[in-house]
């Protein structure tokens, strides 16, 4: 694991004894040359004050300059000083604040947050949300009751001397839990060079990778001397601790995955999927316009809106396909057979989006999926239609009836024009990890869509390449982290 430093005012007065944690005086950290050259290090800044140009301020500032992972970062130190941001946070979390504090009998309440938690479980949800917004190791939130409504008034750091003695054992346990949470391999023979967070959601109904595949990603990263932690949506405040973020939960612009990607990119991490790829790939209107502009072959496609409802069927004929712009896993994609069904479905979908995609129906027994990483082809699979259905996924069924069969090929055995067309399409998006869906019909090859966050499940996409598939992806992370550290990669 990365080396962990707790930087404090006076180590002799530090109240918590933790294994694998080095407690360092602030002046020593700032002035001893051995710390300026240290690599792969997490720095928890636990000084009494973060005032401008104070020791606490300089610990976080120089930690960032040294390529360490400080908590808090300078941006967080500035955020806690902003009253306007505090008011905005109070508004955004209003429902949770009222629900959590409704039982409090006084008109003031102080919530102490120790490494994202409170000593009382009833306050954990609010503590976690505030920590995610203001990632400080020890944090105090002060609330006031104003006209029967609780309002967040101030956010401040807690000095270790202010931890009540009665809380010490609990704070020690919470800190230890935070430092070890999510480690895929807590022990290893040699210190890692990089740290990787894999974001996954155990409640995701259609996860892009199953548990076995996630473990194989972790194993591949370990071989390259990464430390790996599995994180979930509650770990937003921890993003800056890592060198890289790999998102393996279904992405969307309007959910937590995009916020994680944005924060990771802002903090200088290598991130897949990057926010731009999420925005571009998850909107089929954008893809339709992009592919048309660059002459990438697709089924005949129209961007549908209220002014061309009458014209689209004349152009495409029936049956035709209607797609919500942000549809995935065949959800929000429907086939309409006639005018009546078309009219009804269009009205339903236009209530959710001002623009839709209408596409000619192209019947094939399977779709090609070409996996691409770093603008190079990675794997090739055929996904067959679900039994008795026109799509790969039949969302009206469960179990074996839900999806069709598959075949996986070495990339060099996939049709050359399919691979080349997939590369042309994916390279318009970026250099991340993509899965391009294509159809072949009567000598014609056309792109259906470009997916960020493509499915990589054990026994399916990895059937031919096995461990090498995971290693190839992790090698891209490794190469980019090294390039960033050497100043060869612009973020």
Helices 94-101 and 83-92 sit at what angle, rounded to 10 degrees? Answer: 70
Mean pLDDT of 466-490: 89
Cβ neighbours, 10 Å, residue 238? 21
Q: Which residue range forms the structural domain that includes residue 25?
A: 3-75
Identify whether residues 374 and 288 lie together within a single domain. Answer: yes
Give which of 435, 424, 427, 431 is closest to 483, Cα–Cα.
Answer: 431
Does the pLDDT at position 187 exceed 50? no
Decide which of 116, 151, 178 is a domain's last residue.
178
What's 325's domain CATH number? 3.30.1490.20
Whether 462 maps to a domain, the answer reads no
- Higher per-residue pLDDT: 20 or 278: 278
Does a structural domain hold residue 460?
no
Q: What SS3 state is found at 484?
A: helix
> Chain-centre distance of CA 301, in angstroms?
31
Query: Has residue 326 been placed in a domain?
Result: yes
Average predicted confidence (pLDDT) for the chain: 89
Q: 221 and 314, same structural domain?
A: no
The arithmetic mean of pLDDT across residues 439-465, rounded, is 92
**C-alpha distance from residue 491 to each of 81, 152, 276 (Å):** 28, 35, 12
State residue 453's pLDDT score.
Answer: 94
Q: pLDDT tier at 1 (50, 70, 90 boundaries)?
A: low
The whole-number pLDDT of residue 404 equals: 72
Q: Is residue 161 part of a domain?
A: yes
pLDDT at 386 > cutoff 80: no
Helical ranges in 26-65 per DSSP H: 26-31, 33-36, 55-65
Statement to judge: residues 311 and 372 lie in one domain: no
Instruction: State the virtual CA torsion across 479, 480, 485, 486 in degrees, nearest 10.
Output: 70
Least confident of 232-236, 387-391, 427-431: 387-391
The pLDDT value given to residue 473: 98
Same structural domain, 341 and 371:
no
Q: Are the C-beta atoms of 44 and 20 separated by less than 8 Å?
A: no
Residues 280 and 380 in one domain: yes
Does position 287 have pLDDT exceeding 80, yes or no? Answer: yes
User: Residue 377's beta-bridge partner residues?
Assistant: 372
First to last CA, the chain: 25
Q: What is the pLDDT of residue 186?
A: 45
Q: Tell which of 128, 152, 178 closes a domain.
A: 178
Residue 376's pLDDT is: 96
CATH number for the domain harbouring residue 22: 3.40.250
Same domain, 126 and 260: no
Q: Which two tokens stand for residue 123?
A: 């306050």
Range among 153-162, 320-329, 433-442 with highest mean pLDDT value: 433-442
CATH at 110: 3.30.470
Q: Does residue 459 lie in a domain region?
A: no
Q: 374 and 334, same structural domain?
A: no
Domain count, the chain: 5
Supply the pLDDT for residue 305.
Answer: 92
Which pLDDT does position 465 carry in this prediction?
Answer: 93
Position 419 scores a pLDDT of: 97
User: Which pLDDT belongs to residue 280?
Assistant: 93
pLDDT, residue 160, reads 83
User: Quick one: pLDDT at residue 184?
Assistant: 47
The span from the CA of 463 to the CA of 445, in Å, is: 24
pLDDT for 20: 83
Q: Return the CATH number at 479.
A: 3.40.50.20
Across the range 441-457, mean pLDDT stands at 91
Q: Is the same domain home to 415 and 478?
A: no
Query: Is residue 458 included in any domain, yes or no?
Result: no
Evaluate whether residue 457 is within a structural domain.
no
User: Shortest CA distance to 327 belongs to which of 407, 236, 437?
Assistant: 437
pLDDT beyond 70 at 353: yes
Give how far the C-alpha of residue 404 lies from the chain's centroid of Cα atoms, to the nearest Å.
28
Judge if 328 and 212 occupy the same domain. Answer: no
Look up tokens 């130190």; give the residue.
77
User: How much is the pLDDT for 204?
Assistant: 87
pLDDT given for residue 122 in this prediction: 93
| pLDDT beyond 60 at 324 | yes
Same domain for 230 and 174, yes or no, is no
pLDDT in tens, 78-108: 888 887 777 777 777 899 999 999 999 999 9
Asked which of 55-59, 264-268, 395-399, 435-439 is least confident by mean pLDDT, the reply is 395-399
Once rounded to an integer, what is the mean pLDDT over residues 359-373?
Answer: 93
Euclidean distance between CA atoms 458 and 456, whole angstroms: 7
Comparing 35-49, 76-90, 245-259, the range with the smallest average pLDDT is 76-90
Question: In terms of domains, do 402 and 476 share one?
Answer: no
Is the pLDDT at 208 greater than 90? The verdict is yes
- Give the residue among 361, 311, 320 at the shortest CA–CA distance from 342: 320
Whether 442 is in a domain gets the answer: yes
pTM for the structure as a whole: 0.77
**CATH, residue 415:** 3.30.470.20
Q: Which residues contact 9 (CB under 8 A, 6 or more apart)?
A: 25, 26, 47, 48, 55
Of 390, 376, 386, 379, the C-alpha closest to 448 is 390
Average pLDDT on 107-121 reads 94
How many CB atoms are located within 10 Å of the residue 309 CB?
16
Looking at the structure, do residues 380 and 281 belong to the same domain, yes or no? Answer: yes
Domain-ending residue, one of 53, 75, 97: 75
332-350 pLDDT, tens digit each: 789 999 999 999 999 999 9
What span, in angstroms and rounded, lies between the C-alpha atoms of 80 and 136? 10
Q: pLDDT grade, residue 123 (50/70/90)? A: very high
């Amino acid at each position: 694991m990365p080396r962990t430093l707790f930087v404090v005012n006076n180590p002799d007065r530090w109240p918590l004894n933790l294994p694998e944690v080095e407690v360092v005086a602030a002046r020593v950290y700032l002035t001893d040359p051995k710390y300026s050259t240290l690599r792969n290090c997490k720095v928890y800044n636990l000084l009494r004050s973060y005032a401008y140009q104070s020791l606490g301020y300089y610990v976080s500032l120089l930690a960032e300059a040294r390529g360490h992972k400080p908590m808090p970062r300078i941006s967080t130190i500035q955020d806690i000083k902003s009253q306007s941001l505090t008011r905005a946070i109070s508004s955004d979390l209003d429902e949770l604040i009222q629900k959590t504090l409704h039982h409090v009998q006084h008109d003031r309440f102080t919530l102490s947050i120790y490494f994202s938690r409170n000593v009382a479980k009833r306050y954990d949800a609010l503590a976690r949300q505030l920590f995610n917004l203001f990632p400080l190791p020890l944090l105090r939130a002060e609330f006031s009751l104003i006209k029967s409504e609780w309002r967040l008034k101030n956010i401040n750091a807690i000095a270790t001397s202010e931890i009540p003695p009665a809380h010490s054992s609990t704070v020690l346990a919470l800190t230890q839990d935070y430092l070890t949470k999510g480690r895929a391999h807590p022990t290893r023979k040699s210190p890692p060079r990089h740290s990787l967070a894999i974001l996954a959601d155990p409640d995701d109904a259609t996860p892009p990778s199953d548990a076995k595949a996630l473990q194989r990603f972790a194993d591949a990263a370990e071989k390259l001397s990464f430390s790996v932690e599995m994180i979930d949506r509650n770990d937003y405040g921890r993003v800056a601790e890592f060198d890289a973020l790999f998102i393996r939960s279904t992405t969307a612009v309007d959910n937590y995955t995009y916020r994680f990607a944005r924060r990771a990119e802002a903090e200088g991490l290598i991130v897949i999927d990057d926010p731009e790829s999420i925005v571009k790939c998850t909107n089929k209107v954008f893809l339709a316009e992009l592919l048309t502009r660059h002459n990438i072959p697709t089924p005949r496609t129209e961007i549908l809106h209220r002014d061309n409802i009458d014209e689209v069927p004349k152009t495409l004929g029936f049956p035709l396909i209607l797609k919500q712009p942000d549809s995935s896993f065949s959800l929000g994609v429907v086939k309409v057979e006639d005018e009546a069904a078309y009219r009804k479905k269009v009205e339903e979908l236009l209530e959710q989006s001002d623009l839709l995609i209408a596409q000619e129906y192209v019947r094939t027994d399977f779709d090609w999926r070409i996996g691409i990483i770093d603008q190079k082809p990675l794997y090739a699979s055929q996904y067959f239609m679900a039994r008795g259905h026109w799509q790969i996924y039949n969302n009206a069924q469960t179990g074996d009836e839900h999806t069709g069969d598959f075949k996986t090929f070495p990339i060099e055995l996939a049709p050359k024009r399919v691979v080349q067309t997939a590369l042309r399409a994916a390279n318009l998006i970026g250099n991340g990890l993509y899965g391009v869906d294509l159809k072949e019909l009567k000598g014609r090859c056309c792109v259906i869509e470009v997916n960020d966050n493509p499915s990589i499940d054990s026994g399916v996409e990895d059937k031919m390449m096995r461990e090498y598939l995971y290693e190839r992806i992790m090698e891209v992370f490794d190469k980019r982290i090294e390039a960033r550290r050497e100043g060869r990669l612009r973020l």
